[in-house]
């Protein structure tokens, strides 16, 4: 059974930083692109960032220059370093895995974690 388990969310003041982690089942991590999506209350789940198994990275325009996605293949873990956080970054952040299709489209992702809450106070 494929599992994605997120951690690292919390409450932080605007301008602060958080690092999210997602541990994935070994059998998918080596070949899947891993992504992060955020869902604010009353809004759709939106693409944040993704990292392919080959090392390519992708970001939403709203987080470029502030967030960094990385993978540790030895630990089957993908990270999202979030710096200079803003109140509008407040959301439930989901880790997800995609094998084929657009990394920007949540419909392409086959596996999802349960989410970790990030709240940024002003």
Pairwise CA distance, residues 15 & 40, whole Å: 19
Strand order in the sheet with 4-7: 4-7, 18-24, 77-82, 67-72
Write out pLDDT tens, residues 29-67.
889 999 999 999 999 999 999 999 999 999 999 999 999
The pLDDT, as a whole number, for residue 1 is 82
Are 77 and 24 spatial neighbours (Cβ–Cβ below 8 Å)? yes
Pairwise CA distance, residues 79 & 43, whole Å: 24
The pLDDT, as a whole number, for residue 122 is 94
């Amino acid at each position: 059974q494929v599992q994605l388990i997120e951690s690292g969310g919390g409450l932080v003041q605007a301008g602060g930083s958080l690092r999210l982690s997602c541990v994935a089942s070994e059998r998918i991590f080596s070949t899947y692109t891993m992504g992060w999506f955020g869902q604010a209350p009353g809004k759709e789940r939106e693409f944040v960032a993704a990292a392919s198994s080959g090392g390519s990275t992708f970001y939403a325009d709203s987080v470029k220059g502030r967030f960094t996605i990385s993978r540790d293949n030895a630990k089957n873990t993908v990270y999202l370093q979030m710096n200079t956080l803003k109140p509008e970054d407040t959301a439930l952040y989901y880790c997800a895995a995609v094998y084929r299709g657009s990394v920007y489209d949540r419909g392409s992702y086959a596996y999802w974690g349960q989410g970790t809450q990030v709240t940024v106070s002003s």
